[in-house]
Structure 1
Amino acid sequence: MRIPLSWLKAYVDVPETATSEEISAALVGLGFEVEEMRSLDEVTGPLVVGRVVEIEELKDFKKPIRYCQVDVGDGEDDDDVQTRGIICGATNFAEGDLIVAALPGAVLPGGFAISARKTYGRTSNGMICSASELGLGDDHSGILVLPSGEASPGDDAAPLLGLEDTVIDLEITTDRGYAMSVRGLARELAIAFETTLVDPAAINVPGAEGEAHGVHIEDQRGCSRFVARRVTGLDPTSPTPWFMRRRLMLAGIRSISLAVDVTNYVMLETGQPMHAFDTSSVKGNLTVRRAQPGEKLTTLDDVERALDPDDIVIADDTGPVSLAGVMGDASTEVREDSTDILLEAAVWDPASIGRAVRRHKLPSEASKRFERSVDPALAPAAAELAAKLLREHGEARIQPGRTDVGRPELPGPVMMEIDLPDRVAGVNYPRGVTARRLSQIGCSVEVTSTEAGRAAVIATPPTWRPDLTRQADLVEEVLRLEGYHTIPSVLPAAPAGRGLTPSQRRRRAVARTLADVGYVEVNPMNFVSPATWDAFGLAADDVRRQTVKVLNPLEADRNELATTLLPGLLEALARNVSRGIRDVSLFNVAQVVLPRAQQVPVPEVSIDQRPTDAEIATLKAALPAQPVHVATVLTGNRQRPGWWGKGEPATWADAIQAARDVAATAGVELTVQAGSLMPWHPGRCAELRVGGFPVGHAGELHPKVVEALGLPKRTCAMELDLDLLPIQQHRPAPIVSPYPPVLLDVALVLDASVPVAEVTDALNAGGGDLLEDLQLFDVYTGEQLGEGKRSLAYSLRFRAPDKTLTVEEATTAKEAAVAVVADRFGATLR
């Protein structure tokens, strides 16, 4: 939220010596995040008020170009008017309007220097400025037109524009909606500087003489209060006063008309969003209700929106006329000729407004405040303030009636031991700090004692602080106002004998191993869309489709917690490829979420004491299973090409090797056999087993999955359940033999359908203890072998731990290994 400091200083007596940096530091100390402090005095050189005397339309160009004669006060007297010719492309001004002109020698924000230059066949002797070019706001759709009577041609524009001011941009957290207003921030500054505050909402609200308009609230949960005030006889041509336009502009809100500007101004000043209806367009009484199936509404941005039954609407006899708390309907908006205005100030359910904003993708300044909660006692004062501003600046007449329906829930009292903030912070604060700080934020404080005789306070929070509902909230306020810097930071000593658990050490070791072999770790979001499972080609009854739904997702179309790591990894891979990176190898070690077959209801646990062991056990039983998985994805070249030779493309074998590396790091033996599971290719998928139990899969992805996800061809992936691997607490040290090896080769001819992994296992089983290692180095098929046959050539390494092995002994071991393969698969020597 952006606010000029001059607006804040209008209501809080900030010391004159306080700089903008000190004010920013004070707000940071109070727990606010200051995004930016921007001074407006970036303009140097001649910046003056000018009057447009004559406009010549240049029509020989593709876009509108105007050559304007501007009186900038160069003449010696009023009768001696001298003008400057200035080229301008904007069309939102007319002859006689007052504008801001930057003359040659001026430098605008961003280092943009102004000089006389020839363009479009004319000499432009200056520049007519927009609010954006002056650094006053974001509006660059047209130049800044000043109200008549505010200044004269030739006057210095800097004081009129208030270029000595500073704009502060704050990030307001969701629990501090009161701070999204001048009223709330001024109160915080008054606390920080220990000075007085003038509450802009502290105005005299006269008693209502009847109703302003008939209003009925059907949904009391969605709307707890609805206030309406009516003004008539408004002069629709009345301009918005300059002070109001300037403040709105610096806050990032575009000036539209007096009636709309007043509602925005009151919202920024008090924190109460408002809406103005054209009364003549409202048919009958108003009803606050949920939308009915099939209803539609055309919002002020001229977009027709299909309403959801969860949407709260304001309706008249014709149907919805406002999407409550978000945006009004175009049929009842205040028009250029509107003279009869119905002002609405209401209190809406924050959760309902938040869902409507995300559902319709329609954030607004009003919804930002309603999502954070507004002061339920503020609506009558806000409506009265808006009515008075329309009467003062638009000659409107305030009608005697005021509608005020609904019963808002007000914050209840909270009892807290008076020294609880001291005990939480570990600081002995001076006597009276707790009561004083709670009083400063608006609490009604009563000092009492507990049943045990300890001193306590009963604090009734103000209406603008609905977030103060328990002792912890009050403690936080005391500590915040005393300053977090006063709380000592002491690092507790780590108890002896504690450290990472075996599973944590294994997880870190696996991550290091994958990084060492060339994979890059990423941590994608664990939220997926139901459409993901369709793209993965999963069957309707696939258990991976059974997910845990998120009630309040970050993105409406990603409302499920993933049961596999592959969706996030493949999305990251596709994003890298789309940005020109062709060789990608990624991995992730994270939890997946698997719902239980029978869901245990989550128990309600009190927060005033530690839960019992039984309650903790019930809470854990209610949680879904969250095993740790490790997954890799890769595409492109696994070995890049260069002067050393051609590159090697990544294949299914690399994905399987990643699984072997993980298993070796975990200290377990991995068995690989042919498998079939989507989203892997049915002929290039390996099932990974440990001790005969499946723990994952690896291989090349199915072509249809690759096409559906927009991935490169031959993309490969591996995923296994790390929690299913047994943890090896004691690993024997490897025995290194000092004796030389004997290297022998063997080529076996057998059916092509026999998996290589099973042949390798048979050789290992037959080779005995002397077989130290074996590697497959050639696969051959040909006519001389016969149809359906292939030759597998292995390099065998034999070594004895206690002596030099003879060739005869190694040959005997080799023949034993070949015999096992022949017995199991009918293999013959080639």
Structure 2
Amino acid sequence: MQFSEQWLRTWVNPALDSEALAHLLTMAGLEVEENDPAAPAFTQVIVAEVLTVQKHPDADRLNVCTVNVGEAAPLQIVCGAPNVVAGAKVPCARVGALLPGDFAIKQAKVRGIESAGMLCSAKELGISDEASGLLILPADAPVGQSIRDYLKLDDRLFTLKLTPNRADCLSIRGIAREVAALTGAELKPVEIKTVPATHGDTRAVTLAASDACPRYAGRIVRNVNQAVATPDWMKQRLERSGVRAISAIVDITNYVLLELGQPMHAFDLAKLNGGISARFAKTGETIKLLNDKELALEADMLVIADEAGPVALAGIMGGAESAVEAGCKDIFLESAFFAPAVIAGKARRIGFGSDSSHRFERGVDFANCVAALERATQLVLDICGGEAGPINEASAKLPARKPVALRVSRVAKVLGVQLSADEILDLLRGLGLPCEIAGDVITVTPPSFRFDLEIEEDLIEEVARLFGYDNVPVQPSETRLFMLPQPGHRRGKAVLRDLMVSRDYQEAVTYAFVEEQWEADYAGNSTPVRLINPIASQMSVMRSTLFGGLLNALQHNINRKHERVRLFEIGRIFNSTAADQQPEKIAGLAWGSRFEEQWGASKDKIDFFDIKGDVEALLAPRVAEYRRASHPALHPGRSAEVVLDGKVIGVVGELHPRWVQANDLGSAPVLFELELAALTTIATISAQPVSKFQPVRRDLALVADETLPAETLLRALSSLNHPLVTGIKLFDVYRGKGVAEGRKSLAFKVLLQDTQKTLTEEDVDAAIAGLIRKAEECGATLRV
């Protein structure tokens, strides 16, 4: 919600400067996102009148002008604007003026002719992005007055970032009501008078969907002058509120929307056929809207229709067929209340919204319909002329305003501030909330403009806002703190995050909404969880893997010339068929060189084993098994399943070459994805005595079939569980002379140690013999 500070101060004018007012609104929950000047700073620019215009003797496109600046003698100024004419009132920058961009105006000669200043366009003053010539001012502009004062350029433009529950502040009246309650300044609302009818013509109104549209008011205004220009004061307020001026009738409806918060629409009466009905759309109906979009209507879309069909999409936009255009003489003004639930989501579904839909889907003041119609009618008569008819109103069951009880003692308990009942009553009544008190309980009946007041906590929040969060004292806690027991077999996400950061990763947070193609490419998922109302076409399904978001983040970094990327993410995935439909996963991605560029390290690329080491660090002290994997996102020969306690908990591997090429990554990143639950449970670590005796090392060379994975053989050796064997590691793989074709030699380092004695040859030989027997069970033999 953008608005002009000067406009607001016509309603309420507290003794606060702009910065203090912005801070006050922000601390009251109406966050001021922007507080910008209406025009950039400049000096010594006044209203001037062009007296004469003569062609420059030495330049075809220049004119020599005499200009009245309110002094005894006129000035001579050379001007090249195509629209300069005698009698025009224009801004004039005097010698010594400083224009936006630090452009100083000096006495100068232009092609030999003296020039004592410059006539200015709106662009040169910084109040417009485009200008085809001088800024022509109204004929009654006072010569000699500062242009900043005349155009009110010392105004400030406030932009509020309102939460969805504060629809009441989507208008100048609503914001003024808040400021008056917060500061105690007098609220001076605009006077709305009843416009007497000067003819008896009406248009029948029917509420065919009374739950969706419980109130609709309309009025015929005849003989309006559609061609009249919108007054400068109205145009200025509209433009400073971010609304483009279009035509007098449209501008008036937009002005009332901004001023009172009531969306309105004007129909060309000659284009309406019969009575007006608020109803839901029928099968096969279409409408062309004011933005020229042709829309196929659905059964849950509320429309305003005449006897020929829909003429407006209720609460969102009027129809092009009944629009007020040049030549229109008679109009039908409407002012209605539509149930928020009926309007909500429709704008997103059709792909565009409006100021009206933004307000209706949050809730407008249903008691304000007729008053807003009277206000708009009066503005139409004042600006466009015409004769107003009587208001024809249809109403049904309006939203009930259920009383809410507020306990004075509860306010003190929640806020930690002792406020008397009278103080609370003063605060709430300042907002226009009807209150009654009985003992400790204040009963508040929420007014029609406050849809967000439903429970006691809502009223406590209002008290806190009005009292001022800054005024709530900070009290030291009197609660005794206790250390909670930490189970030794559990660890939290923070520990995993710290571990990943310590291994040179950075955390990424990506959207759970992803492209449908990502699910097919990276998860092989043809039936993803679809969103009914996606926020964008490329975010239409829920992810079932974290790979898509990480690869998108990688591409974003590569596009910005990063040469080494290491990312991880912890997040939920979403499955439509699995028993656990929303498990948490941890995933990581590494791309580029193994180390940062430096003179003492090689420029080798990241490979599978680097990331396998990171996975092992995450699982430690537990040890996983790795099996060949077949995953749609990963290289079939450079990826593996991660198996823990016999269960597959994830995958690790290099990205498939086709996705490397499709995403133009240059080289393949290595990724992993693991079930978070498997990492938050860790094996209990028990203390073991450190042996005082020397360990014994034996190297065991085994010959096995080429197809036998080394992991299988290592698992078989480890399954011996001999008390003297403290470690087995593969340290060499050999193929060649001395080893038969189709066979390979696997060399294992075996460490043996006892905590009680020095090992004998017999002890060592017995343990090695047991290991050889285990190897033979896998088809491996001792190399000789």
Per the normalisation by structure 1, the TM-score is 0.83
Alignment match, 1:822:
776
Alignment match, 1:73:
68
Taking a change above 3 Å as real, the CA distance of residues 288 and 107 of structure 1, as seen in their structure-2 partners, is farther
Alignment match, 1:238:
228
Code of the aligned partner of 2:437: V
1:661 aligns with 2:621: no
Alignment match, 1:585:
566
For 1:716 and 1:319, the matched residues in 2 are separated by: 60
Deviating more after overlay: 110-119 vs 401-410: 110-119
Alignment match, 1:451:
none
1:787 Cα deviation from its structure 2 partner: 4.3
Alignment match, 2:648:
694
Code of the aligned partner of 1:493: T
Alignment match, 1:720:
674
Taking a change above 3 Å as real, the CA distance of residues 461 and 119 of structure 1, as seen in their structure-2 partners, is farther
Alignment match, 1:471:
456
Matches within 5 A, 1:16-27: 18-27=16-25
Q: Give CA-to-partner distance per residue, 1:488-533, whole Å, 9 cap, x none.
A: 4444636423166667734332222222222211222323344432
1:126 Cα deviation from its structure 2 partner: 3.1
Q: Give CA-to-partner distance per residue, 1:527-564, whole Å, 9 cap, x none.
A: 33444322225254xxxx564x6666654653554443
In structure 1, which of residues 255, 280, 305 is the aligned counterpart of residue 245 of structure 2? 255
Structure 1 SS opposite 2:375: helix
CA contact (8 A) 1:231 1:398 kept: yes
Deviating more after overlay: 732-741 vs 243-252: 732-741
Structure 2 SS opposite 1:191: helix
CA contact (8 A) 1:40 1:135 kept: no
Structure 1 SS opposite 2:242: coil
Structure 1 SS opposite 2:366: coil
For 1:765 and 1:34, the matched residues in 2 are separated by: 67
1:565 aligns with 2:546: yes
Matches within 5 A, 1:282-361: 282-292=272-282, 295-361=285-351
1:435 Cα deviation from its structure 2 partner: 2.4
In structure 1, which of residues 371, 379, 383 is the aligned counterpart of residue 373 of structure 2? 383
Code of the aligned partner of 1:107: L
Per the normalisation by structure 2, the TM-score is 0.87
For 1:247 and 1:446, the matched residues in 2 are separated by: 39
For 1:569 and 1:306, the matched residues in 2 are separated by: 39
Q: Give CA-to-partner distance per residue, 1:94-120, whole Å, 9 cap, x none.
A: 987644344554334454555689999
CA contact (8 A) 1:418 1:456 kept: yes
For 1:175 and 1:141, the matched residues in 2 are separated by: 41
Code of the aligned partner of 1:458: T
For 2:92 and 2:301, the matched residues in 1 are separated by: 48
CA contact (8 A) 1:679 1:701 kept: yes
Structure 1 SS opposite 2:376: helix
Alignment match, 1:462:
447
Code of the aligned partner of 2:614: A
For 1:154 and 1:512, the matched residues in 2 are separated by: 69
Structure 2 SS opposite 1:434: helix
CA contact (8 A) 1:224 1:406 kept: yes
Matches within 5 A, 1:533-548: 533-536=519-522, 538=524, 540=526, 545=527, 547=529
1:85 Cα deviation from its structure 2 partner: 0.6
Alignment match, 1:636:
592
Taking a change above 3 Å as real, the CA distance of residues 739 and 707 of structure 1, as seen in their structure-2 partners, is same
CA contact (8 A) 1:528 1:567 kept: yes
For 1:120 and 1:210, the matched residues in 2 are separated by: 68
1:697 Cα deviation from its structure 2 partner: 1.9
Taking a change above 3 Å as real, the CA distance of residues 655 and 185 of structure 1, as seen in their structure-2 partners, is same
Alignment match, 1:100:
91
CA contact (8 A) 1:71 1:153 kept: no
1:185 aligns with 2:168: no
CA contact (8 A) 2:633 2:656 kept: yes
CA contact (8 A) 1:75 1:82 kept: no
For 1:826 and 1:741, the matched residues in 2 are separated by: 26
Taking a change above 3 Å as real, the CA distance of residues 651 and 786 of structure 1, as seen in their structure-2 partners, is same
CA contact (8 A) 2:12 2:179 kept: yes
Taking a change above 3 Å as real, the CA distance of residues 758 and 428 of structure 1, as seen in their structure-2 partners, is same
Alignment match, 1:38:
36
Alignment match, 1:129:
121
CA contact (8 A) 2:216 2:336 kept: yes
Taking a change above 3 Å as real, the CA distance of residues 504 and 140 of structure 1, as seen in their structure-2 partners, is farther
In structure 2, which of residues 388, 396, 401 is the aligned counterpart of residue 398 of structure 1? 388
For 1:99 and 1:123, the matched residues in 2 are separated by: 20
1:811 Cα deviation from its structure 2 partner: 7.1
CA contact (8 A) 1:205 1:384 kept: yes
Q: Give CA-to-partner distance per residue, 1:11-69, whole Å, 9 cap, x none.
A: 22434xx32233223323322211233345743322133567899999xxxxxx97677
Alignment match, 1:84:
78
Structure 2 SS opposite 1:569: helix
Code of the aligned partner of 2:183: F
Code of the aligned partner of 1:271: G
1:387 Cα deviation from its structure 2 partner: 1.4
**Structure 1: 5+ residue stretches without partners:** 59-64, 449-453, 599-623
Q: Give CA-to-partner distance per residue, 1:329-375, whole Å, 9 cap, x none.
A: 33333323333222222223334434122223323322222232111
Deviating more after overlay: 306-315 vs 382-391: 306-315
For 1:35 and 1:494, the matched residues in 2 are separated by: 40
Alignment match, 1:480:
465
Alignment match, 2:513:
527
For 1:503 and 1:69, the matched residues in 2 are separated by: 90
Alignment match, 1:615:
none
Taking a change above 3 Å as real, the CA distance of residues 509 and 471 of structure 1, as seen in their structure-2 partners, is closer
Matches within 5 A, 1:426-441: 426-441=416-431
CA contact (8 A) 1:52 1:69 kept: no
Alignment match, 2:2:
2
Taking a change above 3 Å as real, the CA distance of residues 457 and 513 of structure 1, as seen in their structure-2 partners, is closer
1:514 aligns with 2:500: yes
Alignment match, 2:711:
757
In structure 2, which of residues 598, 603, 606 is the aligned counterpart of residue 650 of structure 1? 606
1:385 Cα deviation from its structure 2 partner: 0.9
Code of the aligned partner of 1:457: I
1:760 Cα deviation from its structure 2 partner: 2.2
For 1:85 and 1:565, the matched residues in 2 are separated by: 64
**Structure 2: 5+ residue stretches without partners:** none
Alignment match, 1:498:
484
Code of the aligned partner of 2:673: E
1:770 Cα deviation from its structure 2 partner: 4.5
Code of the aligned partner of 1:533: E
Structure 1 SS opposite 2:414: helix
Structure 1 SS opposite 2:345: helix
CA contact (8 A) 1:210 1:403 kept: no
CA contact (8 A) 2:436 2:443 kept: yes
Q: Give CA-to-partner distance per residue, 1:555-593, whole Å, 9 cap, x none.
A: 465355444333333332232223222422211233445
Q: Give CA-to-partner distance per residue, 1:105-146, whole Å, 9 cap, x none.
A: 43344545556899999999636333x66455x764767855
Matches within 5 A, 1:547-562: 547=529, 554-555=535-536, 558=539, 560-562=541-543
Matches within 5 A, 1:221-236: 221-236=211-226
Aligned pairs, how many? 779
1:392 Cα deviation from its structure 2 partner: 0.9
Taking a change above 3 Å as real, the CA distance of residues 297 and 165 of structure 1, as seen in their structure-2 partners, is same
Taking a change above 3 Å as real, the CA distance of residues 28 and 110 of structure 1, as seen in their structure-2 partners, is farther
- Percent of residue pairs identical: 31
CA contact (8 A) 2:630 2:636 kept: yes
Deviating more after overlay: 371-380 vs 588-597: 588-597
Taking a change above 3 Å as real, the CA distance of residues 119 and 254 of structure 1, as seen in their structure-2 partners, is farther
Taking a change above 3 Å as real, the CA distance of residues 526 and 121 of structure 1, as seen in their structure-2 partners, is farther
CA contact (8 A) 2:49 2:88 kept: yes
For 2:292 and 2:65, the matched residues in 1 are separated by: 37
